Structure 1
Amino acid sequence: MRVHFIAIGGSAMHNLALALHHKGYQISGSDDAIFEPSRSRLDEFGLLPEELGWFPEKLDENLDAVILGMHAKPDNPELLKAQELGLKIYSYPEFLYEQSKEKTRVVIGGSHGKTTITSMILHVLQYHDREVDFMVGAQLPGFKTMVHLTQENDFILLEGDEYLSSPIDRRPKFHLYQPNIALISGIAWDHVNVFPTYEKYVEQFSIFADSITHGGILVYNEEDAEVKRIAEAATAPTRKHAYTTPEYSIENGETLLETPEGSMPISVFGKHNLSNLAGAKWICQHMGVDEDDFYEAIASFKGAAKRLEKIGETATNIAFKDFAHSPSKVKATTEAVKNQFPGRKLVACLELHTYSSLNAEFIKGYKGALDAADEAVVFFSPDAVAIKKLEAISKEQIAEAFERDDLIIYTNAEAFKSYLESQKFDNSVLLLMSSGNYGGLNFDEVQNML
């Protein structure tokens, strides 16, 4: 089967290209910018385009499918050529559905926690040598790619993103999967550039719940009032299973999970991650893993990349980076770190980087998000605001939104880096939260700052 990727360099797109290559498909692709690690990984398997740019001549009527990435524009020359030739054009989620129509589809949705939950499930299944197809949004230890597709596996596990499918398909990705088993972890307004009101955003999860196939199962976090309301109103699933945060304790910086066999030390921490664990356990049980086997496997789970990932440690200090960027995620992550290390000074840094977090109205939702930190820092780039063609925001707006008098605010990347380098960390925890890199901060250098 011949498949061409328009915007092959994206994080998700290049992983799908690799998965199809490993499946024996003939892959071609184009992009106008390809960064690491996509570049090296595509090059390793001979899939890196010879030159950057768009080349309509790469497309012909013998292609079986064209997969269109979000990075491409509606007037992309290759897309126009594909339309002219009448080729079958898929969005990323559409193609994943085509690859899994005959499988049991397990889809993990939610504004937060979905990558961690998907990662936990995959870890447990791999621990017990259970083969499944999958797509997850972060690189995991022990897995070569974020996408794995086969002919023979019965299950496919999909992280269900609520963002748009493609430039020409404005449906949220998770609406296209038609799950047999689904999970909703939590709902907190995000992607305001696409869903301008909270109500419109929440509606997408109701549609997702009702897209479950007849006879399917919905697992949901009943501690989230919005999730509970949607789950109870959903008519599609035949069975519904609620979960809550399990009992746990913290002793000397170590989290102990209460199990039927007693207290068990685990590597992940924070109330939100314990809630994620409870959801993962339910899904694993529906996939045939019993409770004892789940606990045995989850004890060795270290976390997904950029999800409270330890990036530095000395005898007295420790540093984490986390993907948190929305208000609810920032608050949960900051509180989790402070609760885990109550005797240490917590320096929490947040980069406002996404469309939502740089939106003047949305920023008001950050009130109290950094209150658990002993020292709180916010970084944003006015250039990033301009590039995204958003209304300019000021330091005063940021300070007013967070309602913290001692909030430190930086708009210059070098000044922020100098701040970190000048710190005299002593019995401290440094928490760096962002979906970006603070204007070019090398996270590998953080160890030297502690």
Structure 2
Amino acid sequence: MATKNCSQNTEKHDRRETNCSVFLCHEKPDANQPVICNPDFFVERFRHEHPQIFADLVLSNITRLIDLPGDEFAQLTGESVPKVPTSTGFLRSFNFRKRKEKGVIFGAPLTEEGIAQICQLIEYLSKNLHVEGLFRVPGHSLRQAALREMLNNGTEIDLETGDFHPNDAATLLKVFLGELPEPLLMHRHYHAHLKIGELTCFDEKGNKTNVPDKARQIEAFQLLFMLLPPANRSLLKLLLDLLYHTARSQHMNKMSAINLATMFAPHIIWPKNVTASDLQGNIEKLNNGVAFLIRHSQKLFKAPVYIKEYARLFYTGSKTLQSNDDLNLSSGNKTGSIAAIATSSPSHSVRSIAGETSSTSDIKPSENQSYTESCLRELYKQVNSMPESAKKKKLIRRFEKQPDSNSSAETRTPFIKRHWRSRSAGGIVKRKASTEKENGTLQSLPPRS
């Protein structure tokens, strides 16, 4: 009955709309597998319950695909604030005035409530993709002002009455994106977008070519989008889906993917208060990057298969966790072993998970805790074996900030003793006193049998 209803709903919905995300397995169910299977369920659960471990897992695979120097990596992780050029003169005073006049939706930080209001524009535009010059031809200023005020007041608008033109809604959508305090694709991801656009194929001799490596670019964007805040990710998916179908209707509206990218790149990826002259040679890269997002939008919001398998086996349980550096996801063998992709960077370890999986209900709390501790110990060892570098120091500082509930003293002590650094004489005194206190505590403990 559930399968029949789901199929009926799928037939009723347009392809642009969201279909049933939970599907039933038609194969004979395994005793160790749930009956209802959603491939992204464990990924979302993993992201929600273990955000830092999930972020480290994703970051490790991003750095496997693209090379991010220390400062750019620190920006991606949020440890360093990106340097955004500031504007002067008229543009600066205009932006200040615009911030003072911002309303509930426009100019405010992105929220789910704001997305719900903007969805009215997106839904209306999705029904008017035939309009020639959509997103390029500006709307009427007075109608836009009235529509903007209604959205700011939280009014539910019936755009089908004919009071507004699709060009009004299209222009206002760009204005909304342009007035966000931070670009939809975020300042910290700016350099990663540029690096992903530079991924190219290699020839038979291993030499780099000028042919874009679309598969690696899609994989990198899938990982990068999983680091976006939920609100940014939700609106980005809605926006790219709209632009994707707009480009598919270019025989009517004369708007190709690159035309749309030229219209939207300044609003969703350019750093704030940056002019075209500031970006210099990066404008073409950014436009091509946004065009790539539009063309491949239907694939970019799916987690890579190895992330899905790692998240699923994280919860369903496994017998062993070992390091695997072959960078391949192998299929299950007779014993049910599955290899999760490993990273080329030792800063984050994605382990292959072997052994028969067991039902979540069969795992005791103590086993779950032991499983997590073994994961963290392996991760600590990998970081500890890295050569001395600024990146390693930043990772060590991140580990030291983690709560001790998920790791034992044996896993954390080597990091603290080997990598403590002081920036002042006071820091040396404090750390020396702390070390003596720790040693005194350790001496007072009875020896282990």
Q: With the length of structure 1 as denominator, give the TM-score of the two structures.
A: 0.25
Could you say which structure has the higher strand fraction? 1
Greater helix content: 2
Larger Rg: 2
Scaled by the length of structure 2, the TM-score of the pair is: 0.25
If asked which structure has higher relative contact order (CA below 8 Å, sep 6+), I would say 2
